[in-house]
Structure 1
Amino acid sequence: MMLYSIKIRTSLKEKHISGAERIVSKEKIPNVVKALLKRQEHKDFDFSNVKIEKISQKPIILGKSLKIKTYKFENYKEALGFALNIISAKTNLPLETAKKFINLLYIGASPDKNNMRGAMIVNEKGERLEKDKFRGVRTVLVDFKNREIITKKLLEKGYTERTVDALALATKNLNYKNLIAEFCISDDNDYTTGYLAIDGKYIRLKPLKPYGLDKGGRIYFVKNNTNVDELYNYLEKIPVLIEDINE
């Protein structure tokens, strides 16, 4: 069966607003495009682009997603401290070094203090490895094999469609042999839940940023022996489908 990648990107005054991707069979394309466009209705944008591409490479099939955990805190600083302690322990980065990089997401991680379009990459020596500090690296070509069933399962458990998207992305990321952890906060100013993906777990942290902040982004923490070209190729060129959630 031939599969197609459908990507949608919206922006306002050349600033990225939102994006989404699906991997589907040909007959599902019209309905999926319609659903993706409907998700943009509440957004204020002046440009929207839908891109449909045939996937020529056979996808990697992963049996299970990361396991979802949720922790609630009094405020985002407590949640951030919780995440930093785990990251520092697993990457051997000094706490202050890990904090220095993560703080960039809260003020705008690109050189012009806007949000990066993709993720930052940091190794265990505290070096930034992304090829372009404006663009970063983007994880694409990932979805659940039967998204409708997975979405229904997660919605019934009280999660949102955001969780479906982020869980798929984080699962692809941590499948890469040298990617230790992912830290993420949304750049939507009204969405304060963030996550840490590490050790086979997708850890939702509520709240992980203050309400009203329009800054956000991702950091991928990787091992020192990571080949950057191979990492980019996996994240941006290799399709991945996930069969089920890890319950």
Structure 2
Amino acid sequence: MVKALREETFYSVRMRASQNGPHEKGGKHISGGEQLSTYDNLKQSINVLLDKALSHSRGNPDFMQIQFEMIDEPIKKLKPLPIEINEAGSVEEGQSIARNLLEKAGVPTESIEKAHRELMEHSVLRGAILFDIRSCSRIGDRNEKGVRVSRMDWLTGDFEKWADHYNMSRSQRLKEALVLATKVSAHPATIAELCWSDDPEYITGYVASKKLGYQRITKLKEYGDERGCRIFFVDGSSHLQPYIDYLERQSILIQWEEDE
């Protein structure tokens, strides 16, 4: 169930960093990130994002933009997706697990194969590919930019309670991934998401959906590979622009309660 959060004023804090100039002028993407913050915690949130950009394994940025803006619409609360871990001994095994999970989530095999080919043609995407499972084709005219999910977070204290309860890592990476997957999966047009990082030192990825939860897969690419993947498999019968507006503009705060 989604509820509105009105108790405090929050700010959306966003960062993007690149090398050899800004993204729109052909710069190599280094890092991106965001948080929701109260006014009193803005400096801390900015410092977290600054450190993330300046210590990334993809390289040292020579362009960075950090901005924040007050959120003047109600923030919706979502419960985090349930999580399961799938061990993979090789990339081939990991990719096979991912395909099986996508099929269980309701994505046709033809869509999976065509989306993979689309991904290979756009290996430097900065956002997500939207792929319609009905027409078996990419939708949305974003080219290399893709769609970037924004305005979402999970307050650190609540996330750490969740992690301790389920004996999970308290890592910022897991937190960010689960927040994004939860927001994307909550929309009725989303069938499933496939993702792995463009970080060459991080080979874990996931499949996520309302039906399956957050399915972490321990190896989806080779170590040292800078190519990432983010594909949202969607039901194309839904209106596209409201869906993109939800991904980019709707503010979401993940909240977990132990008694649930």
Same fold (TM over 0.5): yes
Q: Deviations for 1:74-120, whole angstroms, at most 9, x for unmatched residues?
A: 10111111111222343352x25413312544x4x42xxx4211100
Q: Aligned partners of 1:161 and 1:131: how far apart in 2?
A: 31
Aligned-residue CA RMSD in angstroms? 2.0
Normalising to structure 2: TM-score of the pair? 0.85
Q: Which residue of structure 1 aligns with residue 146 of structure 2?
A: 136
Question: Which of 136, 141, 166 is the equivalent residue of 2:177?
Answer: 166
Deviations 1:155-200 (A, max 9, x none): 7623521010010000000110110100001111111000000215
Q: 1:90 to 1:68 in 2, by over 3 A?
A: closer
**Identity across the alignment (%):** 30
The aligned residue for residue 133 of structure 2 is: 124
Equivalent residue for 2:18? Answer: 11
Q: How does 1:227-242 map to 2 (within 5 A)?
A: 227-242=239-254
Residue type of the alignment partner of 2:137: E
Instruction: Provide the secondary structure at the position in 2 that maps to 1:66.
Output: coil
Do 1:174 and 1:200's aligned partners in 2 also have CA atoms closer than 8 Å?
A: no
Say which SS state the counterpart of residue 57 (structure 1) adopts.
Answer: coil
1:83 maps to: 98
- Matched with 2:4 is none
Paired letter, 1:85: N
Q: Give the Cα separation in 1 of the matches to 2:116 and 2:228.
A: 10
Higher mean C-alpha displacement, 152-161 vs 201-210: 152-161
Name whichever structure is richer in strand by fraction: 1
Structure 1: gaps (5+ residues): none
Q: Residue 100 of structure 1 aligns with which residue?
A: 114
Say whether 1:150 aligns with 2:159. yes
- Tell me how far apart the structure 2 counterparts of residues 132 and 166 of structure 1 sit (CA, whole Å): 22
User: CA–CA distance in 2 between the matches of 1:35 and 1:159?
Assistant: 15
Structure 2 unaligned segments of length 5 or more: list them: 1-7, 21-26
Report 1:201-220 matches (<5 A): 201-220=213-232
Q: Do the aligned partners of residues 202 and 101 (structure 1) sit closer, same or farther apart at CA in structure 2, a change above 3 Å counting?
A: same
**Number of positions where the alignment pairs a residue of Structure 1 with one of Structure 2:** 239
| Offset from partner CA, 1:12-71 (integer Å, 9 cap, x none) | 111111111000111110121122212233231111111111111111112x10011111
Corresponding residue number in structure 2 for 1:194: 205
In 1, Cα distance between equivalents of 2:12 and 2:85 = 30
